[in-house]
Amino acid sequence: MNASGWAEIALTLALVVALAVPLGAYLARVWQGGTTWLDPVLRPVERLVCAGCGPGAGRSQGWLAYALSFLAFSGAGFVTLYLILRFQDVLPLNPQGFAGLSPHLAFNTAVSFVSNTNWQSYVPEQTVSTFSQMAGLTSHNFLSAAAGMALAAVVARAFAADRAEGLGNFWVDLTRISLYVLLPISLAIAVVYVALGEPQTLLANVSATTVEGGRQTIALFPTASQEAIKQLGTNGGGVFNANSAHPFENPNAWTNLIEIVSMNALSLACVVAFGRVVLARREARALAAVMVILVAAGAGAIYAAETQAPPALVAHGVDASVNMEGKEVRFGAPSTAAWAAATTGASDGGVNAMHDSLMPLGGGVAMFLMQLGEIAPGGVGSGLYGMVVMALIAVFVAGLMVGRTPEYLGKKVEAREIKFAMLAVLILPAAILGFSAAAAVLPVALKGLANGGPHGLSEILYAYTSAAANNGSAFAGLTANTPWWNTTLAIAMLLGRFAYAVPVLAIAGALAARPKLSASAGTFPTDGPLFVGLLIGVILIMGGLQFFPALALAPIVEHVQALQAVAAAR
Amino acid sequence: MFAQARAALFATVFFTLLLGVAYPLAVTGVAQLAFPDQAGGSLVRDAAGRVIGSRLIAQPFAEARYLHPRPSAAGADGYDASGSSGSNLGPLNPALAARIGRTAAGLRADGPAPIPADAVTASGSGLDPDVSPANAARQAPRIAAARGVAVGEVQRVIAAHTRQPALGILGQPAVNVLAVNLALDARFPRAHPPPR
């Protein structure tokens, strides 16, 4: 570890915070239907979409109608994407001549991109045609992100409402977020990425005769356009197998900085926008502080882990000051640590180093950040509503301690909301631990592992954690392109996305119908350091209690083994 | 229900065309006009115009007179630019220790200088175009001997192709292997190609 490494991590996080404030102000205007400077161009398009969605498509919906629209849209997206992937061999723009995906792989991939997970069971540059990348995957990078942010807008409106029924309209939210937020920012970032070296071409493979006379086939894709929304929308599905470790997806320190910042800034901006819509900026600041503290602690812990002595380097007398297996020279430990924390704290899942080869605690912290529920700062939109669920549980715990009915942001929190909140929060451990327990004993699952011992258990745990948390990063040694893994991971992704989102919408419906109260002397303050501490405590205890036994058997025991191996070699 | 289905269908089709077709094509158009070199993959061509590689992609170098890239786990023989991959070996995997042992033993044939970590570890992509300055410096005497030039000459070429961290703190110093090797060949051309 050195000062420049710490400075790099600090600068990256500072940029995230600095950008989230103006972005959040803009996002609040988009959520509330306000005017923006893009109106002259985009208003007509917005009106066109609303008209196309049918008569009355602009009407404000109750929570159930909103949820049905969200589910109908996700279902339509799933079917189209499944068909595109299955039949890419007869669709245009397949210069590589790839066959259609197998049914279980197409199912897994379609679920993955519709649920904003972007887990990749396949090697993209050997599997997915240019058309599938663009029309199939790039478009769902936008749409799954926009749907998540639409749900966040609903939660904000619910807290702002006073005895209201309507929570806004899904189609309007989806359209406005896609058109006014995601599309223009992605366009700008994509052009910058090309300038910094990322390819953007419809030509597929270039054949090169190397300096020493060998042959090398260089795969090319419209990379920059997908990279921009992949990071901005906390998607994480790359056009290359190595994701953002690939020099075409992430050629240098500048692209690395922009990619990290863009994968966290919009999630944090959702919190800023929430504060503006609910007129609770100080309380929103407390939520944002919790997110930043958690992701910063994660980045620091991973940096410390990755500069521990790797046993294999010590054993052979090689410089052991940094674990370079799976890392790129241009990034080294600090850029990798900042990225690994940002990608697992947000539900991005892109990687700029191979997480399977991280030190035991480096990979363990990455896993733990996902297990906290993807709220540091979480996926775009989903991070905000996940954090609000945690805040409801925190005020409930505080209410139990002082014996008062809890309230949050002027809304009484009653049994119905807490039941739905617990239902949502229990999805993650049920999916992760349930599937992991099954996979750990089934031969059909175990034959996919690349590493044995506790690291093998880490590969299993990481896979289901990543899927259920809709993250998408992997301990990529796991061979997941088999019917067992593709199917069970897809089910975990569906549970993590939809079995979480629907209770959240139900909570929003219940809260919106309640009267908005003004704070009284008995109201527990939710804007100061006390609440920040309480909320972090609730988050860590929930994550810790649920997952600590499993983590103890995997990364923690492996860490002890690594220390022993280093001591024995020295 | 019918209204929901109709809206879902329309929105899916409309946004697939806008975000999945028009958006990437628009970026491609701008990119090809404004930054054709980067958009095409930063390809390097020889005097005859044939593609010899990409500045951003590692290619194999084994001859003593060239700077060698990091080990690669991409594809069966490494450096497969249509199948990027790391080794995905865990830190305690015996296969990792064995591979590092073999690589380190090979490097010690060059001399007793300490071995930097990046020289024996596989990168995340398998296509890392760079090596660390320490790794390049360790190879300079071998390159100089193979080319019959002073070590200082080789060191100067390496220094000219070393990138420092952006703003002094972003990323790590890195030496682009292909750029160094092309510069070496340009600066110290040989009359006869070496026996293969």
More confident residue, B101 or B2: B101
Same domain assignment for residues B84 and B156: yes
Please indicate, yes or no, if residue B33 is contained in any of the structural domains: yes
Please indicate, yes or no, if residue B29 is contained in any of the structural domains: yes
Do residue A248 and residue B56 have CB atoms under 8 angstroms apart? Answer: yes
* Burial of residue A192, with CB atoms counted within 10 A of its CB: 0-12 exposed, 13-18 middle, 19 or more buried: middle
The Cα A60–Cα B46 span in angstroms is: 63
Give the mutation candidate from B46, B92, B103 for the A interface (greatest A CB count, under 10 A).
B92
Do residue A138 and residue B23 have CB atoms under 8 angstroms apart? Answer: yes
Chain A residue numbers with beta carbons less than 8 Å from the beta carbon of B5 are 72, 76
Please indicate, yes or no, if residue B196 is contained in any of the structural domains: no
pLDDT for residue A57: 74
Q: What is the mean pLDDT of residues B113-120?
A: 97
A–B: how many Cβ contacts below 8 A?
Answer: 388
- The domain tally of chain B equals 2
Q: Which residues contact A149 (CB under 8 A, 6 or more apart)?
A: A27, A173, A177, A181, A266, A270, A380, A381
A461-488 pLDDT tens trace: 999 999 999 999 999 999 999 999 999 9
Angstroms from A459 CA to nearest CA on chain B: 10
Chain A residue numbers with beta carbons less than 8 Å from the beta carbon of B8 are 69, 72-73, 75-76
User: Domain range spanning residue B163?
Assistant: 41-187
Same domain assignment for residues B1 and B88: no
Residue A115 is encoded by which pair of tokens? 């649920």
Angstroms from A248 CA to nearest CA on chain B: 7
Same domain assignment for residues B141 and B128: yes
Q: In whole angstroms, how large is the CA radius of gyration of chain A?
A: 23
Whether B194 has a pLDDT exceeding 80, the answer reads no
Same domain assignment for residues B15 and B102: no
End-to-end distance of chain A based on CA atoms, in angstroms? 21
Do residue B87 and residue A354 have CB atoms under 8 angstroms apart? Answer: yes
Three-state secondary-structure class, residue A215: strand
Same domain assignment for residues B16 and B101: no
Chain A residue numbers with beta carbons less than 8 Å from the beta carbon of B42 are 197, 199, 251
Task: Measure CB to CB from residue A328 to each of B11, B88, B123 and give the nearest one.
Answer: B123
* Residue at A476: amino acid letter: A
The Cα B159–Cα B178 span in angstroms is: 14
Same domain assignment for residues B107 and B151: yes
* Residue of chain A whose Cα is closest to the Cα of B179: A211
Same domain assignment for residues B27 and B76: no
Strand partners, A216: A208
Residue B8 is encoded by which pair of tokens? 């879902």
Residues 241-260 of A with CB under 8 A from B: 241-242, 245-248, 251-254, 256-257
Chain A residue numbers with beta carbons less than 8 Å from the beta carbon of B37 are none
Q: In whole angstroms, how large is the CA radius of gyration of chain B?
A: 22
- For CA atoms B88, A294, A381, A252, the dihedral sign is negative
A109-161 pLDDT tens trace: 999 999 999 999 999 999 999 999 999 999 999 999 999 999 999 999 999 99
* Burial of residue A464, with CB atoms counted within 10 A of its CB: 0-12 exposed, 13-18 middle, 19 or more buried: buried
Angstroms from B122 CA to nearest CA on chain A: 5
b/e B92-104 (16+ beta carbons within 10 angstroms → b): bbeebbebbbebb
Do residue A174 and residue B11 have CB atoms under 8 angstroms apart? Answer: yes
Do residue A318 and residue B115 have CB atoms under 8 angstroms apart? Answer: yes
Check: pTM over 0.95? Answer yes or no: yes
**Average pLDDT taken over every residue of chain B:** 95
Task: Output the 3-class SS for chain B.
Answer: CHHHHHHHHHHHHHHHHHHHHHHHHHHHHHHHHHCHHHHCCCEEECCCCCEEEECCCCCCCCCCCCCCCCCCCCCCCCCCCCCCCCCCCCCCCHHHHHHHHHHHHHHHCCCCCCCCHHHCCCCCCCCCCEECHHHHHHHHHHHHHHHCCCHHHHHHHHHHCEECCECCCECCCEEEHHHHHHHHHHHCCCCCCCCC
Nearest to B8 by CA among A133, A417, A455, A171: A171
Do residue A357 and residue B88 have CB atoms under 8 angstroms apart? Answer: yes
Do residue B91 and residue A319 have CB atoms under 8 angstroms apart? Answer: no
Residues 444-503 of A with CB under 8 A from B: 450-453, 455, 458, 475-477
Give the mutation candidate from B1, B2, B4 for the A interface (greatest A CB count, under 10 A).
B4
The Cα A109–Cα A85 span in angstroms is: 8
The Cα B86–Cα B120 span in angstroms is: 13
Same domain assignment for residues B77 and B174: yes
Chain A residue numbers with beta carbons less than 8 Å from the beta carbon of B54 are 206, 208, 218
Whether B195 has a pLDDT exceeding 90, the answer reads no
The Cα A497–Cα A307 span in angstroms is: 35
* Residue at A34: amino acid letter: G
A213-222 pLDDT tens trace: 999 999 999 9
B7-62 pLDDT tens trace: 999 999 999 999 999 999 999 999 999 999 999 999 999 999 999 999 999 999 99
Do residue B169 and residue A8 have CB atoms under 8 angstroms apart? Answer: yes
Residues 310-339 of A with CB under 8 A from B: 310-313, 315-332, 335
A429-444 pLDDT tens trace: 999 999 999 999 999 9
Please indicate, yes or no, if residue B152 is contained in any of the structural domains: yes
Same domain assignment for residues B64 and B76: yes
Same domain assignment for residues B81 and B134: yes
Angstroms from B152 CA to nearest CA on chain A: 24
**Average pLDDT taken over every residue of chain A:** 96
Whether B129 has a pLDDT exceeding 80, the answer reads yes
Same domain assignment for residues B11 and B95: no
Q: State the complex-level ipTM.
A: 0.96
Same domain assignment for residues B9 and B62: no
